[in-house]
Structure 1
Amino acid sequence: MSVAEEGSGTRAQRIAANLRVLGERVRTASEKAGRAADDVAIVAVTKTYPASDVRILAELGISDIGENRDQEAAAKAAECGDLDVRWHFVGQLQTNKARSVAQYADVVHSVDRVRLASALGSRARAAERELTCLVQVNLDPDAAAGVLGPRGGVHPGDAAAVADAIAGESGLTVGGVMAVAPRGDDPANAFERLYSVASAIRDRYPQATVISAGMSGDLVAAVEHGATHLRIGTALLGDRGSNVG
Structure 2
Amino acid sequence: MEFPTANTVEAFRENLAAVRAKIERAAERAGRNASEVRLLPVSKTVPEERIRLAIAAGAHQLGENKVQEAKRKHANLIDEDVKWSIIGHLQTNKAKEVAAFASEFHALDSLRVAEALDRRLEMEGRSLDVYVQVNTSGEESKYGLEPGAVPGMLEALRGFETVNVKGLMTLAIFSDDKEAVRTCFQLLRRLRDEARDRDPALIGPGELSMGMSSDYEIAIEEGANVVRVGQAIFGARPTTDAYYWPSATAKQ
Question: Residue in 2 aligned with 1:177?
Answer: 168
Contact 1:213–1:230 under 8 Å retained in 2: yes
Structure 2 unaligned segments of length 5 or more: list them.
1-5, 246-252
| Pairing 1:190–2:187 present | no
Match of 2:152 among 147, 161, 164: 161
Once the two structures are superposed, residues 166-194 of structure 1 have per-residue CA deviations (whole angstroms, 9 ceiling, x without a partner) of 33112111110100002346111110001
Aligned residue runs from structure 1 range 226-237, under 5 A: 226-237=223-234
Match of 1:151 among 142, 162, 174: 142
Once the two structures are superposed, residues 192-225 of structure 1 have per-residue CA deviations (whole angstroms, 9 ceiling, x without a partner) of 0010112233434352332100000001110001
Aligned residue runs from structure 1 range 37-52, under 5 A: 37-52=34-49
Contact 1:181–1:190 under 8 Å retained in 2: yes
RMSD: 2.0
Once the two structures are superposed, residues 216-242 of structure 1 have per-residue CA deviations (whole angstroms, 9 ceiling, x without a partner) of 000111000110000010000000043
Amino acid at match of 1:13: E
Amino acid at match of 1:151: K
Contact 1:133–1:166 under 8 Å retained in 2: no
Aligned residue runs from structure 1 range 76-155, under 5 A: 76-141=73-138, 149-155=140-146
- Compute the TM-score of the two structures, normalised by the length of structure 2: 0.85
Distance 1:10 1:204, change over 3 A: closer
The alignment partner of 2:39 has SS state of: strand
- Compute the TM-score of the two structures, normalised by the length of structure 1: 0.87
Contact 1:90–1:108 under 8 Å retained in 2: yes
Question: Residue in 1 aligned with 2:248?
Answer: none
Contact 1:29–1:220 under 8 Å retained in 2: yes
The alignment partner of 1:231 has SS state of: strand
For 1:31 and 1:123, how far apart are their aligned partners in 2?
A: 42
Once the two structures are superposed, residues 34-64 of structure 1 have per-residue CA deviations (whole angstroms, 9 ceiling, x without a partner) of 1111211111111111223333333322232
The alignment partner of 2:8 has SS state of: helix
Distance 1:63 1:166, change over 3 A: farther
Question: Runs of at least 4 residues of structure 1 off by over 6 A?
Answer: none
Contact 1:42–1:62 under 8 Å retained in 2: no
Structure 1 unaligned segments of length 5 or more: list them.
1-8, 144-148
Contact 2:133–2:168 under 8 Å retained in 1: yes
Distance 1:167 1:53, change over 3 A: farther
Aligned length: 231
Q: Identity percentage over the alignment?
A: 33
Moved more, 76-85 or 97-106: 76-85
For 1:71 and 1:89, how far apart are their aligned partners in 2?
A: 10
Greater RCO, 1 or 2 (C-alpha within 8 Å, sep 6+): 2
